[in-house]
C-alpha cells in the first residue's frame, strides 16, 4: 500500500496496521463543518475545516502531528459584532502500535473545542463599545466623556491622609 493508494477515512479513524505497513503516512482531508455543530456554543460557527496529518512510526509508538485550518464565524471581543476569520491550530499525539484504531476525529474535536475560548478581534483598530452608553464606537461616536474609570475610585474618597 502506498500514500497515493490510501483513501483517508471520512471519520478519521485510521487502521494502525495500514499506517505501520506504509511506514508512516501524510495526508489531508476536508471535513464537513456540520459535523462540529454540537461542540461549540452556537451552531454554524465553524464555516470550514481542513486537516493535515503526519504519522511517524517508531518501534512501539505512532506519533501524529495534525494541523487544522479553516474559517470561523466569531464575535469580536471588543465590539461584539460577528465576523468571519481564519484559524490555525495544531495538535500532537502518541499512539501505541498495538492499538487497532487511531481515532484522529477525537483530537480534531478537542482542538476545535479550544477555539471557543479565544477572544477574536474583528480588526486591529476596533474601538469597541462605549463603557458608559454601550454604543459600538466603530459605527457612531456617542459623545460620552472619556474617563479613566478605576474600580478603586470609590475607595479613594474614603482614604484619609
Q: Confidence band (pLDDT; 50, 70, 90) for 99?
A: very high
Rounded Cα distance, 138 and 123, in Å? 10
Clarify whether residues 51 and 86 are in a common domain.
yes
pLDDT at 15 over 90: yes
pLDDT band at 2 (very low <50, low <70, confident <90, very high): very low
Do 122 and 132 fall into the same domain? no
Residue 136 and residue 93 share a domain: no
Q: Are residues 91 and 139 in the same domain?
A: no
Task: Calculate mean pLDDT across residues 119-129.
Answer: 93
Query: Do 84 and 151 lie in a common domain?
Result: no
Residue 33 domain boundaries? 3-126
In sequence order, what are the residues at sequence separation of 6 or more whose Cβ sits closer than 8 angstroms to the Cβ of residue 36? 46, 49, 109, 112
Q: C-alpha angle 130/135/138, rounded to 5°?
A: 85
User: Do residues 44 and 54 both lie within one domain?
Assistant: yes
**For cell 476596533, what's the residue?**
126
Same domain membership, residue 106 and residue 55:
yes
Distance CA 10, CA 119 (A): 31
Domain count, the chain: 2
Average per-residue pLDDT in the chain? 88
Which positions ≥6 away from 127 have C-beta within 8 Å? 78, 79, 136, 137, 138
Residues forming beta bridges with residue 85, ordered by sequence position: 72
Asked if residue 1 has pLDDT above 70, the reply is no
Residue with grid cell 500532537, as numbered in its chain: 92
Higher pLDDT, 21 or 153: 21
Query: How much of the chain exceeds pLDDT 70, in percent?
Result: 88
- Shared-domain flag, residues 133 and 78: no
Judgement on whether residues 92 and 154 belong to the same structural domain of the protein: no
**pLDDT per position as a tens digit, 132-152:** 888 999 998 888 877 666 666
> Are 113 and 61 within one domain?
yes
Q: Are residues 40 and 99 in the same domain?
A: yes
Amino acid at each position: 500500500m502506498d500514500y497515493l493508494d490510501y483513501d483517508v477515512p471520512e471519520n478519521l479513524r485510521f487502521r494502525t496496521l495500514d499506517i505501520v505497513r506504509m511506514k508512516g503516512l501524510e495526508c489531508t482531508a476536508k471535513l464537513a463543518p456540520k459535523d462540529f455543530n454540537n461542540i461549540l456554543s452556537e451552531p454554524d460557527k465553524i464555516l470550514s475545516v481542513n486537516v493535515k496529518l503526519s504519522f511517524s512510526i517508531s518501534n512501539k509508538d505512532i506519533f501524529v502531528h495534525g494541523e487544522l485550518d479553516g474559517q470561523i464565524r466569531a464575535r469580536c471581543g471588543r465590539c461584539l459584532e460577528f465576523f468571519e476569520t481564519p484559524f490555525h491550530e495544531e495538535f500532537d499525539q502518541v499512539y501505541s502500535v498495538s492499538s487497532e484504531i487511531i481515532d484522529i476525529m477525537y483530537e480534531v474535536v478537542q482542538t476545535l473545542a479550544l477555539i471557543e475560548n479565544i477572544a477574536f478581534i474583528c480588526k486591529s483598530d476596533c474601538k469597541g463599545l462605549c463603557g458608559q452608553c454601550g454604543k459600538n464606537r466603530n459605527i457612531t461616536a456617542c459623545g460620552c466623556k472619556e474617563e479613566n474609570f478605576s474600580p478603586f475610585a470609590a475607595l479613594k474618597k474614603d482614604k484619609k491622609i
